[in-house]
């Protein structure tokens, strides 16, 4: 995303306080000049804005992350730039040596949960990507050998699936909870 600058701005409208997330990027011009350009402005008016922080890429420096209703952004503190853009089903992971981002989405028809784990390098490039899912095929509220399981897009038999996803399932239990931002100062 180039040289991006992220600012949290607080807008006051009557008694309501809105938050807006504004991402500005610099476009290199001829002669070494740069031009500041507002990227798609993400309107967070009246939507919750959440914050989390962790070293998700393992370079010993923490990243900041912001979540709106639809999107999440991971920001490199030192360079003040967005290194990863995800969605609202994602949370940061920094647990027991496991770092990255975990996606978890519950669905229906049949009842299912789809997970994804990604690890990132310090530039936000995806290093590894693992997906796994479980479907309550017979909709009896119990996940057992009569149901349907996937790992990296392939159907896997229940016992095997339990074995290969055990560590990832544990990682998914230890993601970092988003904190609602109630004061714009906290976001600085
Ligand atoms: Ca880091
Ligand atoms: Ca079942």
CA 42–ligand 1 middle distance (angstroms): 24
| Domain range summary for the chain, segments of one domain joined by + | 49-187
pLDDT in tens, 96-108: 999 999 999 999 9
Q: How confident is the model at residue 33 (pLDDT cuts 50, 70, 90)?
A: very low
Ligand nearest to the CA of 135: 2
pLDDT in tens, 62-72: 998 988 777 88
Q: How confident is the model at residue 41 (pLDDT cuts 50, 70, 90)?
A: very low
CA 159–ligand 2 middle distance (angstroms): 14
pTM: 0.75
Range in 38-52, 132-146, 150-164 the model is least confident about: 38-52
Using the predicted structure, report yes or no on whether residue 1 has a pLDDT greater than 70: no
Q: How confident is the model at residue 27 (pLDDT cuts 50, 70, 90)?
A: very low
Ligand nearest to the CA of 145: 2
Using the predicted structure, report yes or no on whether residue 162 has a pLDDT greater than 90: yes
Ligand nearest to the CA of 143: 2
Could you give the strand order of the β-sheet that contains 154-155, starting from the edge strand earlier in sequence? 90-95, 98-107, 112-120, 126-135, 148-151, 154-155
The pLDDT value given to residue 167 = 97
Using the predicted structure, report yes or no on whether residue 58 has a pLDDT greater than 50: yes
Ligand nearest to the CA of 137: 2
Using the predicted structure, report yes or no on whether residue 93 has a pLDDT greater than 80: yes
């Amino acid at each position: 995303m180039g040289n991006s600058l992220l600012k949290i701005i607080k807008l006051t409208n009557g008694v309501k306080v809105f938050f807006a997330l504004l991402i500005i990027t610099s476009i290199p011009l001829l002669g070494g000049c740069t031009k500041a350009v507002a990227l798609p402005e993400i309107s967070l008016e009246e939507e919750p804005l959440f914050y989390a922080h962790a070293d998700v890429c393992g370079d010993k420096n923490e990243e900041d992350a912001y979540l709106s209703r639809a999107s999440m952004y991971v920001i490199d503190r030192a360079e003040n730039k967005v290194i990863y853009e995800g969605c609202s089903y994602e949370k940061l992971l920094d647990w027991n040596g496991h770092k990255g981002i975990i996606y978890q989405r519950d669905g229906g028809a049949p009842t299912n949960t789809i997970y994804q784990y990604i690890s990132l390098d310090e530039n936000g490039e995806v290093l590894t990507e693992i997906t796994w899912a479980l479907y309550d095929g017979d909709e009896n509220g119990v996940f057992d050998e009569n149901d349907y399981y996937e790992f990296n897009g392939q159907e896997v038999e229940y016992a095997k699936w339990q074995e290969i996803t055990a560590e990832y399932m544990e990682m998914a239990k230890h993601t970092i909870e988003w904190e609602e931002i109630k004061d714009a100062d906290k976001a600085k």
